[in-house]
Amino acid sequence: MACSGNKPSAAAEAEADPVGLPVDSTTVGVPVQYDCTDAISMGLNGHVQHISAAIYSTYENNGKLEDGSVINQYKMSFNERGQMTTDEWGNEYGYDAEGNYYRGNHTYTTVKRDKQGRIEAYDDREPKKDNESQFIQSFSYDKNGRITFVEYIGGMTAIWTEKRHYQSGNLYPAKTEQSVSFEGGGSSEIAITYRYTSFDGHNNWTERLCMTSTKEIEKESVDSFIPEQPKIKEEIQVEKRDISYYE
């Protein structure tokens, strides 16, 4: 989840839509039935309302690791029913007053859920139109409802995948492995190991260290017979997030 190895947000790559982004229309003040499916899928406990997260570079100061500059930010949100309205990749989800999905990033966006109610695919491809910004993102889960695999196809990032590995029954991953291949050539592989340092009262993490190893292979020259040597970069980042809940 997150850390700087993540793919660009859908909002950044999506084509502009004159109709605008969806707005959840759950009726305020009317009791609704809460469903924790989307929260579990996103590795969360409790009736989450909003998450605001930031990822920082780090530097060493007298033997102590300090926060540097912000290198990435993202938000997540859920309505009172527990349905996700913004995911960590910037995709938008709109629902009517009865909780039925009606709109995503664009009017043509479709969302597919499996028999367990989990989001299986987010399809943002406009029919009969060729546009680099359009994409499809799919999700796979384990028996505990946790995301184990994410695949993104489209945009300048031709294919982006992420595998998530867990320990015991934790909803949060111990490690992720990301692979990126770019449309113009070149690729990168990113392995991130996490160390969780802070949790809130709902047992959701609020701070973690991200030990990141990135291996990049640039696009090879057509007249070169020498294989491109990968560039490897090791770094430590800090990810922090504020979480609010429905009462």
Q: Is the pLDDT of residue 171 over 80?
A: yes
Q: pLDDT category, 14, cuts 50, 70, 90?
A: very low
Query: Dihedral angle at the C-alpha atoms of 105, 107, 111, 112, nearest 10 degrees?
Result: -160
Q: CA of 226: how far to CAs of 184, 185, 222, in Å? A: 19, 16, 10
pTM: 0.83
Looking at the DSSP bridge assignments, the partners of residue 181 are: 159, 187
**How much is the pLDDT for 128?**
75
Q: pLDDT category, 114, cuts 50, 70, 90?
A: very high
Cα–Cα distance, 65 to 58 (Å, whole number): 6
Cα–Cα distance, 41 to 114 (Å, whole number): 12
As a whole-number percent, the residues of the chain with pLDDT over 90 amount to 66
- List, for residues 191-239, the tens digit of each pLDDT value: 999 999 999 999 999 999 999 999 988 765 555 555 566 788 899 999 9
Which amino acid is located at 143 in the chain? K
Residues 8-21, mean pLDDT to the nearest whole number: 49
**How much is the pLDDT for 46?**
96
- List, for residues 50-97, the tens digit of each pLDDT value: 999 999 999 989 888 889 999 999 999 999 999 999 999 999 999 998
Cα–Cα distance, 125 to 127 (Å, whole number): 6
Query: Dihedral angle at the C-alpha atoms of 150, 52, 4, 66, nearest 10 degrees?
Result: -140
Dmax of the chain from CA atoms? 68
Cα–Cα distance, 184 to 205 (Å, whole number): 37
Which amino acid is located at 118 in the chain? R
SS3 category, 30: coil
Cα–Cα distance, 73 to 181 (Å, whole number): 23
Greater confidence (17 vs 59) lies with 59
Q: pLDDT category, 35, cuts 50, 70, 90?
A: very high
- List, for residues 150-161, the tens digit of each pLDDT value: 999 987 668 999
* Low-confidence winner among 2-16, 71-85, 95-109, 229-243 (lowest mean pLDDT): 2-16
Looking at the DSSP bridge assignments, the partners of residue 135 are: 154
Residues 10-35, mean pLDDT to the nearest whole number: 58
Q: Is the pLDDT of residue 3 over 60?
A: yes
Cα–Cα distance, 155 to 134 (Å, whole number): 6
Cα–Cα distance, 118 to 150 (Å, whole number): 13
